[in-house]
Structures are given as structure tokens and as C-alpha cells.
Amino acid sequence: MSDQSLATAEGSGATAPVALQRHVVFSHGQASGPWGRKITALAEVVRSEGYQAHSVDYRGLDAPRERIARLADYCKELTGDLVLVGSSLGGYVTVASASVLHAQAIFLMAPALYFPELPPLRAGIVDCPTAIVHGWHDAVVPFEHSVRFAQTCRAALHLLESDHNLHNQIRVIQNLFEYFLIALDLPQLAFE
């Protein structure tokens, strides 16, 4: 556990270190469910890195704004560090919600960005470390959308030999996500 994950308990005048809670909240895509293959696999990494894994159930909600509201409602009771992870439409929901929820970081898998039927995202919407994983052969969300977004917000971008569901690259994504979480605890280097 890092020094950043400790806080001081306040009470009867005595102070004692208390571990801050660390949460990863998953947002699934439109044709998926809260505990699909990718989320289940990444939840293993989440727990191994000392975070609590949560997955919001958006089934029955097609409107992006309803999904964003559900994520905000779900996260309002969580305290401590918050990392958001989104896949496909869940990636859009994650990006749209990150700054409002004060996310420490976001991890996106084939995020559904820049589609005309989705409400436009404001410029500079992401203000935290961001990583994106996308398949070269994605027939649902063109990988160029992730390239564009990565350029805009200076995100890490990993293009993999896969399609939209990324199922043949789950082990690689687990490794990338593990590194992503570990890097959040590393001291930031100052460049002059």
C-alpha cells in the first residue's frame, strides 16, 4: 500500500493511520452486461492491486445521459480514489463522467466516441491520466476515433490485433491495465 493510500483517522483526539478505499468502477457497452469477459478478467487485476471492483448495470438504459446519471448515482457513495473503466458505449459514459466524478484516472476499451448520435463532449473534458486500448479491426467503432481522442487528451494508446470485443487480447489488456494501476502510485517525474 502506498503512502498516498493512508489517511489519518479523526476521533477522540488520537490519530491512527487508516487505509483509504480505492475503487475501480466499470461501465459496460450497449450489447454487454456488467460482468462480461473483459470486466471479469480486469476485476482480477483490480483486486490484486488493492482496489475494490464495481460494475454498474446499464441494461435497459439506451440513452447515454441516463447511463451517465446512473454512474454518477452509483459513485456518489464511494469515498477514496476512483478509477473509471469503460468499454464501447461505457467508454463514452466514462469520458463524459470523469471530471464530474473527480476520477483519478480512466482506462478505455474501444470507446464509442465521436458518433453523431451521441451528445458532443466538451473540449478538455479529461483532466486525469488516460489510457486507451482499441482493436485494429474494430468494425463497430473505428480505431481512428481513439487515435483522435488520444491526440486530443494526450492519452496512452494501445492498438491491438483484435476486433471490437477485444476478447483475443484479454491477457494483454490485463497486463496493460495492471501497469496502468501501478503507475498511478508512482511519483510523478518533474521535467524542466
Average pLDDT value for the chain: 89
Q: Pick the residue with more confidence: 174 or 192?
A: 174
The 10s digit of each residue's pLDDT in 30-81 is 989 999 999 999 999 999 999 999 999 999 998 999 999 999 999 999 999 9
* Domain annotation covers residue 129: yes
Q: What is the pLDDT of residue 152?
A: 94
* Domain annotation covers residue 147: yes
77 CB contacts (<8 Å, ≥6 apart)?
A: none
**Is the separation of the CB atoms in 25 and 84 below 8 Å?**
yes
* Domain annotation covers residue 128: yes
Report which secondary-structure segment, H or E, holds 161: none
Residue span of the structural domain in which 87 resides: 20-184
| DSSP 8-class letter at 17 | E
The 10s digit of each residue's pLDDT in 109-140 is 999 999 999 999 988 899 999 999 999 999 99
* Domain annotation covers residue 4: no
Per-residue pLDDT at 13 exceeds 60: no
* Domain annotation covers residue 137: yes
Q: Provide the pLDDT confidence category of residue 19 given band limits of 50, 70 and 90.
A: low
Q: Provide the pLDDT confidence category of residue 191 given band limits of 50, 70 and 90.
A: very low
